[in-house]
A and B are shown apart, each in its own frame.
Chain A
Amino acid sequence: MRVILTLIRRELGGAFQSLTGYVVIAASLLLTGMAVMDLIGWLNDRPTDAPITELFYQSTYFWVILLVVSPVITMRTFAAERSSGTYEALMTTPVGDWEVVLAKFAGAFLFYVLTWLPLLGVLAVLRRVTGETLILDPRVTAVAFLGVFLVGAVYMSLGLFASSLTRSQIVAAMIALLLGIAMWMLSFRPPSADGIGGALGRALDHVSLVRQMEDFARGVVDSRHVVFCLSVTGLFLFLTQKVVEGRRWK
Chain B
Amino acid sequence: MIEVSELTKRYPGRTAVNGISFTVARGEVVGFLGPNGAGKSTTLRMLSSYLPGTSGTARVAGFDVFHQPDEVRRRIGYMPENNPIHLDMRVREFLKFRARLKGLGWRRSRSRVDTVLQQCGLTDVQRRIIGQLSKGYRQRVGLADALVHEPDLIILDEPTIGLDPHQIRSVRALIKGLARHHTVLLSTHILSEVEMTCSRVLILNRGEIIAADTTANLEKRLSLDGGVVAEIAASAEAIREAFRDLPDLVRLDQEPLDGDFQRVTLTPRAGADLRPAVFELVRDRNWSLRELTRRHHSLEDIFVHLTRTKKEAE
Residues of A whose CB lies within 8 Å of any CB of B are 2-3, 6-7, 9-10, 13-14, 17-18, 84-96, 248-250
Known: A85-B80, A88-B50, A248-B52. Contact between A93 and B88, CB under 8 A? no
B133 within 8 A of A: no
Which residue of the partner chain A has the closest CB to B102? A93
Residues of B whose CB lies within 8 Å of any CB of A are 45, 48-52, 69-71, 73-74, 76, 78, 80-82, 84-89, 97-98, 100-103, 145
Known: A10-B97, A91-B50, A94-B70. Contact between A3 and B103, CB under 8 A? yes
Q: Can you list 6 A-B pairs with a CB-CB distance of less than 8 A?
A: A3-B103, A7-B101, A86-B86, A90-B101, A91-B50, A92-B76
Shortest Cβ distance from A59 into chain B, in angstroms? 37
Residues B100 and A6 in contact, CB atoms below 8 Å apart? yes
Hey, which chain A residues are within 8 Å of B145, CB to CB?
A: 89
Hey, which chain B residues are within 8 Å of A9, CB to CB?
A: 97
Hey, which chain B residues are within 8 Å of A14, CB to CB?
A: 86, 88
By secondary structure, the A interface counts as: helix
Shortest Cβ distance from A189 into chain B, in angstroms? 44
For A14, A17, A87, the residue with the greatest tally of chain B CB atoms inside 10 Å of its CB is: A17
Residues B50 and A93 in contact, CB atoms below 8 Å apart? no
Known: A2-B100, A6-B100, A88-B80. Contact between A93 and B73, CB under 8 A? yes
Known: A6-B101, A85-B80, A94-B74. Contact between A17 and B88, CB under 8 A? yes
Residues B86 and A92 in contact, CB atoms below 8 Å apart? no
Residues B88 and A89 in contact, CB atoms below 8 Å apart? no
Shortest Cβ distance from A215 into chain B, in angstroms? 41
**In the complex the two chains form, what is the Cα distance from A7 to B74 in whole Å?**
17
**In the complex the two chains form, what is the Cα distance from A148 to B45 in whole Å?**
42
Hey, which chain A residues are within 8 Å of B98, CB to CB?
A: 89, 93
Shortest Cβ distance from B151 into chain A, in angstroms? 11
Residues A6 and B102 in contact, CB atoms below 8 Å apart? no
Residues B101 and A93 in contact, CB atoms below 8 Å apart? yes
Shortest Cβ distance from A81 into chain B, in angstroms? 9
**In the complex the two chains form, what is the Cα distance from A87 to B51 in whole Å?**
12
Residues A94 and B82 in contact, CB atoms below 8 Å apart? no
Residues B85 and A92 in contact, CB atoms below 8 Å apart? no
Hey, which chain A residues are within 8 Å of B89, CB to CB?
A: 13, 17
Residues A88 and B101 in contact, CB atoms below 8 Å apart? no
**In the complex the two chains form, what is the Cα distance from A84 to B51 in whole Å?**
18
Residues B101 and A92 in contact, CB atoms below 8 Å apart? no
Known contacts A84-B84, A84-B87, A88-B50; 11 further A-B pairs (Cβ under 8 A): A2-B100, A6-B101, A85-B80, A85-B81, A85-B82, A87-B84, A88-B84, A89-B84, A92-B49, A94-B74, A250-B51
